[in-house]
A and B are shown apart, each in its own frame.
Chain A
Amino acid sequence: MDRVYILIMGFLSVVIVNNFVFTKFLGTCPYLGVSGRLDTAFGMGLAVTFVTALSGIMTWLIDFYVLVPLGLEITRYICYIVVIAGAVQLVEMYVKKFFPSLNKSFGVFLPLISTNCVILGLCLFINIWGTDNLLEVTVLSTGTGFGFAVAICIMAAIRENLILADVPESFKGAPITLITAGLLALAFMGFTGMIQ
């Protein structure tokens, strides 16, 4: 029972309290660039969640069973990058084959997921946190991807309404988006301390 409790708390913690976009600023590029429409943002969020979960688990396995026993930690970053690029390729092939319509709406953004900082960031943070069992890694990586999806969907919904707002000419586009993100980060700070 304790273990399930820890897992649930870990999941909530990376989704809400330690949301990667609002507390670690990872994945800010797609966050500013893509999140103009809610449906695209939702699809993007799901794709990122899947890639994050897959590469989080795979990099942890490689790290734990190959790199550390062989003393090859120095090649860690290169291995991570190769794994992530492979995972993205896999998702791309899958989507192309089974969801051709979704593939069209993603366009060029799908291959660009591999340079999304959330994914590499998560692999590195799992390493820093020193997580040492596969179940926890799975929960944390799924949660992180899910947190990114939540953040990008909230932002897309706000931006759909922001079109109607009367923003000063110079602040249109990225500046107002960043300030909105600041206010959102402030709101998410309210969750701090909810989970120890």
Chain B
Amino acid sequence: MPGSTRETSVKPAPFAYQRPATIEDAVRLLGELAPHEGRVLAGGQSLVPIMAFRLARPAYLIDINAVAGLDRLFVRDGVLRIGARVRHAAFHRPVVDGPLGAMLAQVVRHVAHYPIRLRGTLCGSLAHADPAAEWGVVAATLDAELVAVGARGERRVAASDFFRGPMETALASDELLAEARLPVLPDDTRFGFAEFSRRAGDYALAMALAVLRIEAGTIAAPRLGLGGAEAAPRRIAAAEGLLRGEAPGEAVFRAAAEAAAAAIDPLEDPETDAQYRRELVEAMVFRALTQVCAGEAEA
């Protein structure tokens, strides 16, 4: 039927579908099928669009949406554990008391749109590793630990080793990112998050997450993470060094923002050249830091 929607619209290539109920079955299937173009399907909010364009053509999809236990979300030993089925929307309300829950609730408002957040997962976003993804910045800034499970067993990967480049991670093709672990932050931790995108819900052109404490009037344990600006999210040591031990204020924030802009290896595309990306980074870092110390700097 030439001209019908069936012939002209965008459709994924054929695949076989598996829906395991246990993590053991999921890992076994992934071990068997990954060498034959098998992939994990979690929320599908990134994978299914690229399948529609046939940029991805998995021969097998292993749907983990029925796997028992992967929906767990709990704190143990001062660490928030986020299972592979936990949707973005779980973070709309603070999932833990204190600054970590508040931070996740602020950041999640920047993750795509409401219906996408009801379906997509935090671990799926990390495994997809789009450089513009908000959770990657959170994971990098807080030095998250990522738990990969495969036929050879379980291993834990530090966020600084996990992100390798655009859509590239330390995960082997036969490994499932089963859990992300974030440290629960001390109550006196402050944070600020700023993102620039052209429209609400669009991919970030740059974003910054600043996390620190104020001790005796000076900045302690500063963490500054960037995303959307480089091939992978990461902490910017040069900017953190300028903040550490300083009294919070506009001058030191500007210096840190300039240092971050200078430190990056900017992503470039036809609409965003290196200079623009650096300027966006500078603005986002400054805004995030200003947010951290809102009230403090004026006091």
B partners with A: no
B residues contacting A by CB (< 8 A) are none
